[in-house]
A and B are shown apart, each in its own frame.
Chain A
């Protein structure tokens, strides 16, 4: 059976449409992946900023400038060296 000209045109148009849809969908998914990558990079950057801020707060919280007034308010004081006793262990025998 011989196909008529208009059917050929329809087939070609359909083929072109499929190719077009394929190209556009590929392009779209590429942009989506790129967008996801960008979001991840931003998220990582946000987490790093939060980590840096937490480190700053930890250092500040651990600093003697913060701890000493707190310790004083609790009635604590720095021990004299005579009040610090370091346990002295004997060396274990070699087997």
Chain B
């Protein structure tokens, strides 16, 4: 008995000592080395990571996505970890779009790396394959239409490459704020998100809505590409603006080998005859000439103190308006002599020539316009003809937009709205008038002259449309090289307003060194082709309600148009010959409006509705012979106010 008591006490003592030792060790681990172990454990089990913010999306003016951010992965494979090399190789080849033979070849090595990068959708089936290790995700900018407006959009900075375009200008808005978090790692190093250890939420970037219209942009890009090929031009630019607010609806610069450049913002050229309108503006503003005042144009050759000036045509007496229509160098130089240098300089500056436009683009050229004290004896005459001055296509478009907009020059704009990730508008720039370039009366006179360029025997009949009036001015200027002007090399440009009586679009087309020298054979028909496509497209760049109220062009002989407007492009154009004759207004009384619309359309007539229901009368009446394109007013038997 005593022996068993001793044994029991010994066990108790041993147990107590064990517990004491355990407590001491626990205390040592917890109190003395606890912090050190906690740090080591945290290192093994957790990882501090940066949570990248989703970069904002860039949209066009109608909400079409132009650039967004997607996750991309690289794929690593440890062949010795694969359970079934053959079937796994098959899945890998299929998902990564790599030839099977190539995948098998790589899997013979100890580590196979597939750089990609690959989308989440591509790598998703690979996640469950043992031995496949995904590297990423990395956030990458994705452009659904890779070629559309790329110089305008630019690229965010990455891999040592600096940012450009809109991505650079709106970096602060688009980038968002990265967050941070601590993630848990298991024994195999797999990460698990731990919401309780989130340091800071990432804040997504804002979405930017541009003023660009994707449909219009595509039309001008394709048309310019085709024109460069057809006219064998080195490069070209097209910019389209809304003159009422300065919004840039489309802007593209391309070379004949298909490269997109930024020259619409940065490339300067001598505008040639497109600048004659600014001299006319100065003359009209100062009252030094009237539109109907005549000037002797020397039958095409004019010898001055410094040089001999030639016209293409042997013009005699021309009014100021005809000088613009016929693009007479002699006429504009002789009239321009009435202007003081300071007046001409200030007029050009008022149109924004020689100064940056302030467009939201990382780089732009201010163009070249010397102050009068630096002018030589030839400068004033040169400026009147559009030489010794250099502009960007955007500057020229803005100057013409001022003429279209009753004389008010607007700052160009590339951004329409900026919205936060929740969709609320946080920034919406208002149209920004810079200054009044000319009075509204002078602007109206200039528009009338520009309309004559297209329709009254001027130099740009090739830009004329049959049912909507186009106004514009051609410019064919010699191109300068390192050693002076290059023989036989020209820049052809055409600045246009559409429609002429209520301009909704201002477009500048420029072609560098085209095979056919003159703008009337190159830039003007390109303008017409773009406008025809815009009319037929579903673009919202044109307000069709306003357009329907525009006056038809003053065509004495519409059939002449087909002869002078060669359709240069692949899309087969309409055979317009039959559509140009005069027609009798059909008898549509008693028909429904839908039927009437169909009948009048087939006859090539335009239709204005007054009232609803069944047609009670037309104006002109049935049987009256009218030119095609005439607006026929259709009167319904119900009052508009009674309709729902």
Contact = CB atoms under 8 A, between A and B. Distances in A.
Genuine A/B complex? yes
Interface of A: 30-31, 33-35, 37-38, 41-42, 45-46, 48-50, 52-53, 55-56, 58-60, 63-65, 68, 71-72, 77-90, 92-93, 95
Query: 4 closest Cβ contacts across the A-B interface?
Result: A80-B574, A88-B608, A34-B192, A49-B119
Contacts of B584: none
Interface in B304-333: none
A64 B221 CA distance: 11
Contact of A81 (B468, B548, B549, B570): B468
Contacts of B121: 46, 49-50, 53
Interface in B461-495: 465-468
Interface stretch (B280-288, B393-401, B504-512, B531-539): B531-539
Interface stretch (B29-37, B407-415, B433-441, B596-604): B596-604
Contacts of A50: 121
A82 B70 contact: no
Interface in B520-537: 531-533, 535-536
A85 B573 contact: no
B629 interface: yes
Contacts of B640: 90, 92-93
Contact of B606 (A41, A71, A85, A89): A85
A41 B137 CA distance: 11
7 contacts: A34-B184, A46-B124, A48-B71, A49-B71, A49-B120, A78-B533, A92-B641
B544 interface: yes
B557 to A, nearest CB: 14
B571 A72 contact: yes
A55 B65 contact: yes
Interface string B176-215: 0000000010100001111100000000000000000000
Nearest to B194: A34
Interface in B66-83: 68, 70-71
Contacts of B120: 42, 45-46, 48-49
Contacts of A92: 640-641
Q: Which of A34, A55, A83, A95 has its CB near the most chain B CB atoms (within 10 A)? A: A83
A87 B142 contact: no
B627 to A, nearest CB: 10
Given A34-B194, A68-B571, A80-B574, A89 B609 contact: yes
Given A48-B120, A89-B609, A81 B532 contact: yes
B535 A84 contact: yes
B127 interface: yes
Nearest to A72: B572
B137 A45 contact: yes
A72 B571 CA distance: 7
B637 to A, nearest CB: 14
A4 B122 CA distance: 66
Most buried by A among B186, B574, B604: B574
Contacts of B68: 52, 55
Interface string B15-32: 000000000000000000
Given A48-B120, A49-B71, A68-B570, A82 B580 contact: yes
A11 to B, nearest CB: 17
Nearest to A57: B144
The binding surface of chain B is classed by DSSP as mixed
A82 B610 contact: no
A37 B183 CA distance: 12
A35 B193 CA distance: 7
A77 B640 CA distance: 36
A64 B145 CA distance: 12
A64 B465 CA distance: 22
Nearest to B570: A68
Contacts of A45: 71, 120, 137
B576 A80 contact: yes
B535 A81 contact: yes
Contacts of B144: 52, 55-56, 58-59
Interface string B140-160: 001011001000000000000
B419 interface: no
B192 A83 contact: no
Contact of B467 (A30, A48, A81): A81
A78 B631 contact: no
A87 B632 CA distance: 10
B579 A64 contact: no
A59 B604 CA distance: 33
Given A64-B219, A87-B548, A92-B641, A78 B532 contact: yes
B188 to A, nearest CB: 13
B373 to A, nearest CB: 49
Given A49-B120, A60-B145, A78-B573, A86 B547 contact: yes
Nearest to A34: B192
B604 A83 contact: yes
A88 B546 CA distance: 9
Contacts of B127: 42
Contacts of B194: 30, 34
A71 to B, nearest CB: 8
Given A49-B119, A82-B580, A41 B536 contact: no
A33 B533 CA distance: 55
A80 B119 contact: no
Contacts of A60: 145
Given A45-B120, A46-B120, A52-B142, A89 B545 contact: yes
Nearest to B550: A86
B628 interface: yes
A48 B54 CA distance: 12
Given A63-B218, A68-B570, A79-B536, A88 B609 contact: yes
A88 B145 CA distance: 35
A88 B219 contact: no
B549 A88 contact: yes
A87 B573 CA distance: 23
A38 B184 CA distance: 12
Contacts of B638: none
A95 to B, nearest CB: 7
B605 interface: yes
